[in-house]
A and B are shown apart, each in its own frame.
Chain A
Amino acid sequence: MTENRMGTRQVELEVLRYNPETDQEPKFQRFTVPCVNEWCVLDALNYLKDNLDSTLSYRWSCHMQVCGSCGMMINGEPKLACKAMLRDYAGVIRVEPLSHFPIERDLVSVADDFMAKLKRVKPYLIPGEKRTLADGEYKQTPAQLERYKKYAMCINCMLCYAACPEYGLTPKFIGPAAISLAHRYNQDSRDGGRDERQEEIATSEGVWECTFVGACSDVCPKHVDPASALQQVKVASTVDWYLEHFMSWVKK
């Protein structure tokens, strides 16, 4: 709780602006924002919108790193603006909408593609064994929970898509977050839907488009480790293939 944290500093923000109704293409606009040292980039943007230019558009809500709204490129790195602390930046801070997504307006990107992909991988429990409410809960041990818990932490912020060069080059790639969520259900002891999901994700548009750059896991604000999920799906799908072609008598 040093005074330094409460001190102020002028922060130079370079924000990519784009209004489809007035601009041919995006261009940077420079703002000088008086900031408190302990602020995050989102606080600086909020100050900017409230005091300097109310026409700036961006998404935000929770300011606690869980709603996933405020993903943007900050100095070229995909970040949650509420998790990018000013204390970690010197000099000009460059803010752009997430890479690899079309820009709707200013820092707002078009999320349609991600939403469609998420739906496509069936990220919901397809019960292995049906239970009624009267039967009570499924038993699931802490060890069984541990098998998928990490992958259930995805907040759908799309930072991993902005980091993934494969997605940038080949937009049909289903991508890190959606496949990780499919893997999350595949790993769940209550689930019996793996075969259905594999049809979507163990394909050339699915995990086999991934070349394991690992950028997704580097930028994930929730330590979901999508790269791990995708490699595990690859290993499992390879085992499936061998079992099917050489050991067809073995039940998966």
Chain B
Amino acid sequence: MSRRPYVREVPRTTWFFKHPRYMRYMAREVTCIFIGIYTVILLVGLARLSEGPAQYEGFLEALRQPGSVLFHLLALAFSLYNTFTWFNVAPKALPVQVGDEHWPDSVVSGGHYVVWVGLSLFIRFWAGVL
């Protein structure tokens, strides 16, 4: 005789399989784990360096193992994916309005790429690699 609104529960663990858009979102989020692991490896390298040349050489040797190379390739790919996806949505968080008009998104995200490349070059130059 009366109302009985029907609630459709969202599955808490599998919801992201429902739509490719959600899958892409999860991919963006998950790829940051590899960046995290890579950062830990870098810190371990620093610690080894402080312990002396032999320890550091051992660390470098470990890096040359096929498994490690594979991991680094994977981490590179994932961190690039992570970077691109974030740079592409950056204009949403940081829209730039000049006068009556907003800059196109491509200019804002393009700016991020320019700064990224510039900073990378600067660090390499500063570290004496270039």
Contacts and interface: CB of A to CB of B under 8 A. Distances in A.
Interface of A: 18, 20-21, 25-26, 76, 99-100, 102-104, 110, 142-143, 146-147, 163, 165, 168-169, 211-215, 217-218, 225, 227-228, 231-232, 234-235
Interface stretch (B49-57, B76-84, B90-98, B122-130): B90-98
Contacts of A212: 89, 92
B117 interface: no
B116 interface: no
A11 B3 CA distance: 32
A99 B3 contact: no
B97 A228 contact: no
Nearest to B92: A228
Given A142-B100, A213-B21, A235-B93, 10 more contacts: A20-B6, A99-B8, A100-B10, A102-B5, A146-B100, A165-B25, A214-B25, A225-B92, A228-B93, A232-B93
Contact of A110 (B2, B5, B29): B5
A168 B5 contact: no
Contacts of B29: 211
B95 A232 contact: yes
Given A143-B97, A165-B22, A217 B92 contact: yes
Interface string B1-14: 11111111010100
A142 B102 CA distance: 12
Contacts of A143: 97, 99-100
A228 B95 contact: yes
Contact of A18 (B6, B22, B89, B91): B6
Nearest to B93: A231
A165 B5 contact: no
Contacts of A231: 92-93
B61 interface: no
Interface in B15-61: 15-16, 18-19, 21-22, 25, 29
Contacts of A18: 6
B7 A102 contact: yes
